[in-house]
Amino acid sequence: MSIEDFDGIKLLELDELESLFEIDIDVFEFKYDPPCLVPHRRSSYKYGDVLHLLLVHGCHFCYIKDIDSVCHAFGCHKCGKQFKERFLLTRHEKTCAGDEIKRYYPGGVYHPNPTPLEILADEGVPVETDFVYPFRATYDFECYFTKENLPSTSTSKTSYTARHVPLSVSVCSNVPDFESPVCFISEGDPQALVDRMGDYLESIASSAFNILKETSFRNAFEYLEAMKDGDDERSAKQLYNTLHKYLSQLIVVGFNSGKYDLNVIKPYLAQRFLLEEPHDVDEEDDIRKKRRKFVLKKNNEFMAISTAKLKFLDITNFLAPGFSYAKYLAAYEVEEQKGFFPYEYITSIEKLNETSLPPREAFYSSLRNSELSQENYDFLCGVWRENDKFVSREDYQLCEMDTDSLYMALSTDSLEEAVKPHLRKRFYKEYPQWFPAKSCDAHHEEFVSVCSRVRLLICLSVGLNDVIIQGRRNAFSNKTG
């Protein structure tokens, strides 16, 4: 046979060629996207020497004298991962499970998922992508301790001493017509208490949605309604649902609620929010039909609980590490005054009907093994005397809880508007510098406003509690008068 009659070696004949010449043969091919050498055939490596060939156009072999000099990128044909040296690729191929991988990360610079407003803006909907949702609600639970129906799973290291039962919850928000704290008292059924709170929060969420729909997003809804009358009705409907879902969900903030409040009410919360079927699902809407509520936890702490209309968050998850409100106030020479509640004394709802302040011993905490100081008890007695219209201990609890929820609900601006008239009347003669007149000079107007706010915040720490309690006193006067 002459050379002209020889057709060459085919890819399937390389096994026979290896046995004939007792040499291992590896075949590579060059890929352009991304540029790298990818193994096309691997030898079983029975012999000591390895012959490297480059497959060109699927039918022609080129001898590679020094494969490490040909290319500095070697790609895995299973997963596509690249390596700078050939031995690294060989080591990787022994454990590569690329054929089992269903999705590959494309690589490149990280880009966060677009927000709902960014999605709408990309489609031409007139929305502001830097818009910040302005409304929120806050809540604060109080519980009583009972020794009835304790779990029987006590161990040598763990013993159950009492069970926390929701007693009441105070809800407040910065949504118009819902700015006053509302306190719900349990009548013996914790599930009914959580249901009442849920109904009230959802009514706040609906009001917030209607306000935003008629103000900040009026043009956006008109634009989407016009799109529905066009040719791309399905796309317009999806964009409408994206905006509707974003505006329908109200932020509900609690303080340290992820560790305590939500853990206490989680069985009732699941029954009220997470197990209910959404009533507003459109069967023709694929997006809302696939919508799922979610719960996010870290260890034993709830990070977020989301429903169709509410998103429960713990504000402590958004504070800087090591933040201390007491130290912040100390910088302005203002002391932090905390409220006190006789958790272990109140063992039933009937305790709220008593008409006198509990004795100091009732504020003892077996968990901390500490008693209420005489100074703090005198402070509570003063609050009780000043609000002499309290008809029962339930009224005192209302005041204590509403004050807590109001602190969290009011923003800096709305807080200033809420209490500044009272503070001016009380402190203006003694501290006129807290209430400077606005300057007519445009260059100083913003500076004066900022200074006023800083001074006012210092003042708020001193007088806000009395102002709120006085407001509650007036409310109780109307109630009992």
Q: pLDDT digit string (tens) for 231-285?
A: 778 888 999 999 999 999 999 999 888 888 888 888 898 888 766 554 444 444 4
Which of 241, 145, 141 has the alpha carbon at shortest distance from 185? 141
Range of the domain at 96: 3-100
pLDDT at 3 over 60: yes
Which of 251, 295, 270, 274 has the alpha carbon at shortest distance from 138? 251
Same domain, 128 and 255: yes
pTM over 0.95: no
Last residue of a domain, one of 251, 284, 318: 318
407, part of any domain: no
Helix/strand/coil percentages in the chain, nearest 5: 45, 15, 40
Asked whether 256 and 316 are in contact (CB, 8 A), the reply is: yes
Quick one: average pLDDT of 92-116? Answer: 74
Q: Mapping DSSP to helix (H, G, I), strand (E, B) and coil, where does residue 158 land?
A: coil
Quick one: average pLDDT of 30-37? Answer: 74
Banded pLDDT at 8 (limits 50, 70, 90): confident
Which of 81, 86, 77 has the alpha carbon at shortest distance from 52? 86
CA distance 129 to 115: 8
Pairing of strands 136-146, 301-306: unpaired
pLDDT at 461 over 50: no
Same domain, 133 and 74: no
Q: Mapping DSSP to helix (H, G, I), strand (E, B) and coil, where does residue 357 land?
A: coil
pLDDT at 120 over 80: yes
pLDDT at 332 over 60: yes
Same domain, 57 and 130: no
Instruction: Give residue 288's pLDDT.
Output: 44
Same domain, 135 and 273: yes
Banded pLDDT at 477 (limits 50, 70, 90): very low
CA distance 411 to 173: 10
Quick one: average pLDDT of 105-111? Answer: 67
Q: How far is CA 114 from CA 59, 121, 236, 242, 326, in A?
A: 47, 10, 18, 12, 38
412, part of any domain: no
Instruction: Give residue 197's pLDDT.
Output: 95
Alpha helices, H only, 123-217: 190-214
Between 26 and 328, whose confidence is greater? Answer: 26
Q: What percent of the chain has pLDDT over 90?
A: 19
Instruction: Transcribe 384-402 into DSSP letters.
Output: HHHTTT--SHHHHHHHHHH
296, part of any domain: yes
Phi then psi for 314, rounded to 5 degrees?
Answer: -105, 120
Instruction: Give residue 249's pLDDT.
Output: 94
Instruction: Give residue 407's pLDDT.
Output: 46
Domain count, the chain: 3
Instruction: Give residue 321's pLDDT.
Output: 80
Between 359 and 107, whose confidence is greater? Answer: 359
Banded pLDDT at 11 (limits 50, 70, 90): confident
Same domain, 124 and 43: no
Asked whether 436 and 452 are in contact (CB, 8 A), the reply is: yes
Instruction: Convert the pLDDT of each residue in 139-190 to its tens digit.
Output: 989 888 888 888 777 677 777 888 889 988 999 999 999 998 898 988 889 9
Asked whether 53 and 25 are in contact (CB, 8 A), the reply is: yes
111, part of any domain: no
CA distance 202 to 183: 16
pLDDT at 451 over 60: no
Q: What mean pLDDT is reported for the chain?
A: 74
Banded pLDDT at 431 (limits 50, 70, 90): low
Last residue of a domain, one of 260, 289, 318: 318
Asked whether 141 and 166 are in contact (CB, 8 A), the reply is: yes
277, part of any domain: yes
Same domain, 176 and 135: yes
Q: Is the dihedral of CA 313, 316, 320, 321 positive or negative?
A: negative
Quote the tokens at residue 94: 């022994």
Instruction: Fill in the DSSP letter of residue 38.
Output: E
Instruction: Give residue 137's pLDDT.
Output: 94
Instruction: Convert the pLDDT of each residue in 42-88 to its tens digit.
Output: 888 888 888 888 888 777 888 887 777 677 777 787 777 778 777 78
